[in-house]
Amino acid sequence: MKTVDVCLSPDLIHLYDVSDKVVVVVDILRATSCMTAGLAYGVKSITPFENLEQCQKMKGNGYLIAGERNGQKVEGFDLGNSPFDYMDEKVKGKKVAVTTTNGTVAIEKSRRAIEVIIGSFLNISAVAAHVKKQQQNVLILCAGWKGKVNLEDSLFAGALVDKIIDKFEFECDAPLLAHSTYLHMKDDMLSRVQNSSHAKRLNKLNVTKDIEYCLTEDEFDIVPRLVNGELVIS
């Protein structure tokens, strides 16, 4: 039987062999939610960068540049890191280069995987169907916060495990932990996540509606994949 595992923080990735796995990268608040919404709203491709200066340079190559640090839009960038920024007409058909505090770090640490896909609540059923169809073992990589475990990504991991549990067995206890946490909190996830450290951080920055939107399930039937360094729908 295929196995599923969960890496609760990118700082633990050295404990996992990604080379023979499909990695689902998740950063609910807000990077992977933005990437999913952006591609669904017609962005041509999204190129993730860990390094801010390298991302900024892409402006010169005709890219829109997007990003945040500590939840705040990077000064001079075209877009911040709100899913609503990606719903603007100006992004349709465009190539976007993005850098975020945690989400793009997690993607960078997954590059040696057989396949890297983007997970969010916005496309969770599409991701579940995709990983069920393919033959490899799966690792769900939570972006967390600066190396620390966070609630919202762990809840997503538990929710995804819940959708694929009939076809996968647990590689170790992290999927069991994430799944149990999800089963315990699934009936009032919004209020639970509102109480999370990053939701509080965003609220202090007057970012509120993003949180509820990023917890919306199955807005889009798409699975963004990393192809030659770019996230696309294929």
Chain residues in the site for ligand MLT (CB under 6 A): 27, 29-31, 68, 71, 81, 100-103, 143, 202
| Residue 59, both tokens | 């402006």
The smaller minimum CB distance to ligand MLT, of residues 4 and 127, is found at 127
| Residue 101, both tokens | 């505090």
Q: Are 126 and 24 in contact (CB under 8 A)?
A: no
- Shortest distance (Å) from residue 42 CB to ligand MLT: 21
- Shortest distance (Å) from residue 74 CB to ligand MLT: 11
- Shortest distance (Å) from residue 36 CB to ligand MLT: 12
The smaller minimum CB distance to ligand MLT, of residues 143 and 164, is found at 143
The smaller minimum CB distance to ligand MLT, of residues 18 and 214, is found at 214
The smaller minimum CB distance to ligand MLT, of residues 4 and 140, is found at 140
What angle (nearest 5°) sits at the alpha carbon of residue 185, between those of residues 184 and 187? Answer: 110
- Shortest distance (Å) from residue 31 CB to ligand MLT: 3
In Å, what is the CA distance from 192 to each residue of 55, 56, 146, 174, 195?
Answer: 34, 35, 21, 20, 5
CA distance 2 to 50: 31
